[in-house]
Structure 1
Amino acid sequence: MSQAVLNPLLITEAVRAALIEDLGRAGDITTLATIPAGKRASAVIAARKSGIVAGLPFARETFRQYDPSVRFEAAMSDGDRLEPGAIVARIEGEARSVLSAERVALNFMGRLSGIATLAAAYVAKAAGTKAMIVDTRKTTPGLRAFEKYAVRCGGAGNHRYGLDDAILIKDNHVAVAGGIRPALQAAKRQAGNFVKIEIEVDTLAQLEEVLAEGADIVMLDNMSVADLTRGVAMVGGRMKVEASGGITLDTVAAIAATGVDMISVGALTHSASVLDLGLDIEIA
C-alpha cells in the first residue's frame, strides 16, 4: 500500500485549534509559575506499549506553533512499528515551551497511533486473502481526515470520506425508495460517470435482485460466513463484494477467507484504544 499522506494545511488548523483549547485564556499557568524563563530542557517521546506510530506531523507542528525555536527530531516515521521503550522523537528547547505543548502533541499521537495499531491488527488477520480492510464514516466529528489517515498508516484502506464521495444505498434508502430495483434505477439516473454505486443487502434473496439490476459494489451486511461464501459465488466477479456488520478481530479471518473484496470495520475508528506514549524530560 502507498504511503499515507495528509494535507499539511489541515494539520496546521487542527493543531492551532487544539492549542487554543488547551491554553485557554491565560496560558499554562502551572508552568509559568514553576519554571523559570530561559530554562532549557531536552525530552523524548517514548512508547509505553507496542503498536504502530501515527501522528508525528501533528506533534512536530504542535511544538513549532507554540515555539518555533523548539527543535523536534523524529526518530521514526508514521506507519513504523514500535516496541515498548522505543524512542519516537527527540525534543530540545525552552522548558516552558516543551511542557506547555506536551499534552496536545501526545493527544494527537496517542489517538492516531491507537487507530493505526488496531488497523494493523485487522490487516494481519486478513493476510493471505484478497480482502482489503477498510474503515467507515464512524469517526470523531471534525477529526475524520486524521483518523482515516491513521487507518492508512496501519496498512488498511479508506471507505467513503463523506456522503458526497459515492452512492451507498442502505436499507433505509431501499425502504423509502420502494425496493432495491427502484433505488438502483434512481441512483443510476443521478450518478455521473465517475460515481460508484454500492448497495447494502441483508439476504441472498436481496442479492439476487441486485444482480438482476446491476451495481458497482454490493455490501453483504451482517451475514453468516456460510451466506457470505454463497454470496461471493453468486456474484461471480460481476461486481465488488464488501462484508460489513459487527466484524471483530475474532471473526475477521473467517470472513476474509470467504473471498470478499473488502471488509468494512467501524471499530477501527470508533473503538480504538489510545496508544500509550509518554514524554520523558531531562533538564539541561
Structure 2
Amino acid sequence: MLTPAHTQSAVRAALMEDAPWGDVTARLVISDTATMTAAIRAREPGVFAGGAVLTEAFRQVDPRITVSALRADATAFAPGDVLAEVTGPARGILTAERVALNFVQRMSGIATLTSQYVAEVERVGAHARIADTRKTVPGLRVFDKYSVTAGGGSNHRFGLSDAIMVKDNHLAVLGGDITAALIELKRRAGHTTSIIVEVDRLEQIDAVRAARPTGILLDNFSISDLRAAVALIDGAMTVEASGGVTLGTVAEIASTGVDVISVGALTHSVRALDLGLDAR
C-alpha cells in the first residue's frame, strides 16, 4: 500500500512547505562541516509506524545522513525507548527534524489508537475487525490507512473508486423499490465488485437482505438493535457497525456479533504521539 513513490512525493511536498528557500537558521548558525548524532526518542508509550517516511525525510535533505537502530513498524514501545538514531551533517538533520517527526508522530498515534480498539475487541473474545474510514487528511490517506494496519486494524475501501457503498443519501434519491434497485445495481456492477449498503433502522434490513449485497452497514444502531439485526441477517452478508464508536463502547458493540466495526476517530481526530529528537 505505502510505496516508495508515495513516500518520496509526500516528503518532497512537506519539505518544500517547511523550507522552500532552505533552512535559514541552520545555514547561519551551524557550520557546514558540523556533524551530530541524535536519537528519536519516545516520551510516551505507543505503537510505532512510519519508519520509511522518517528515513526518507533525512535522505532527501542530505543523502549523507544515516538512520540506524530503526524500530520496526507495528512494534510497541515504552517511554524513553530509542526509536531510531540519526548521524550525519548537523545542518541536514536539523532541517529534516520537524518533517520527519510530524509524519511518525501522527502515524504512530494512529497505530497506537488502533491497537487500543483492537485490544478491546480481543478482551471480550469477539471476532469483529476494527476498520478505518475515508475520514483522513487530504493527500495523506495512504499514510493514515497504512498506520491503521500497523496497529492491527483493517482497511475499509480506499476511496470511491474501489467499492460500492450505497449510503442513506443514495437510498433517498433512489426511493421506490430498494430491493429491485439493488438487484439492478448488482447486475450492472458485475460479480467482482463489493456492494455495501448502509441502513439506519431495523425496518430497512429485509429489503436490503433480499438483494443479497456483499455487506450491510448498520449506522448508529443501539446495542439491542445491533443484536436484533445480526440475528435477522443470520450470516447472509457481512455486518458492519458504525457511528459514534469509542474505546468505551467498542467492546459491547463487538459482543453483538458484528463482523466489522468502522471507526472514523482512528484518523479524523487522532492525537499525535509525543516523540522527540535529542542530540547526543
The bucket for the TM-score relative to the shorter chain is: over 0.9
Q: Which residue, out of 9, 13, 19, partners 2:15? A: 19
Answer yes or no: is the 8 Å Cα contact 2:200–2:220 preserved in 1.
yes
Q: Which residue, out of 246, 249, 257, partners 1:259? A: 257
| Deviation (angstroms), 1:182 | 4.2
Q: 2-side partners of 1:164 and 1:75: how far apart?
A: 35
Letter of the structure 1 residue corresponding to residue 8 of structure 2: T
Report the equivalent of 1:187.
185
Structure 2 unaligned spans of 5+? none
| Deviation (angstroms), 1:185 | 2.6
| Deviation (angstroms), 1:76 | 1.1
Report the equivalent of 2:161.
164
Identity %: 52
Report the equivalent of 2:224.
226
Letter of the structure 1 residue corresponding to residue 161 of structure 2: D
Answer yes or no: is the 8 Å Cα contact 1:56–1:74 preserved in 2.
no
Report the equivalent of 1:173.
170
- SS of match in other structure, 2:85: strand
| Deviation (angstroms), 1:167 | 0.7
- SS of match in other structure, 1:168: strand
TM value normalised by structure 2: 0.97
| Deviation (angstroms), 1:189 | 2.6
CA RMSD of aligned residues (A): 1.0
- SS of match in other structure, 1:126: helix
Letter of the structure 2 residue corresponding to residue 153 of structure 1: A
Q: Which residue, out of 24, 27, 34, partners 1:29? A: 24
Report the equivalent of 1:147.
144
Answer yes or no: is the 8 Å Cα contact 2:51–2:70 preserved in 1.
no
Letter of the structure 1 residue corresponding to residue 264 of structure 2: G
Runs of 4+, deviation exceeding 4 Å = none
Structure 1 unaligned spans of 5+? none
Report the equivalent of 2:57.
62
Letter of the structure 1 residue corresponding to residue 3 of structure 2: N
- SS of match in other structure, 2:84: strand
Q: Which residue, out of 37, 42, 45, partners 1:47? A: 42
| Deviation (angstroms), 1:271 | 1.3
| Deviation (angstroms), 1:27 | 0.8
CA deviations on 1:198-250 (whole Å, 9 max, x unpaired) are: 10111111011112222110111100111101110111111110001111111
Which has the larger displacement, 72-81 or 262-271? 72-81
| Deviation (angstroms), 1:8 | 1.2
Letter of the structure 2 residue corresponding to residue 45 of structure 1: I
Letter of the structure 2 residue corresponding to residue 119 of structure 1: T
CA deviations on 1:133-159 (whole Å, 9 max, x unpaired) are: 000001110000110000000000000
Report the equivalent of 1:82.
77
Report the equivalent of 1:203.
201
Which has the larger displacement, 182-191 or 71-80? 182-191
Answer yes or no: is the 8 Å Cα contact 1:136–1:265 preserved in 2.
yes
Residues matched between the structures, number: 277
Answer yes or no: is 1:129 the counterpart of 2:126.
Answer: yes
CA deviations on 1:136-194 (whole Å, 9 max, x unpaired) are: 00111000011000000000000010001111000000010114324413321321221
Q: 1-side partners of 2:229 and 2:167: how far apart?
A: 18
- SS of match in other structure, 1:190: helix
Q: 2-side partners of 1:75 and 1:140: how far apart?
A: 26
TM value normalised by structure 1: 0.95
Answer yes or no: is the 8 Å Cα contact 2:129–2:259 preserved in 1.
yes
Report the equivalent of 1:239.
237
| Deviation (angstroms), 1:75 | 3.2
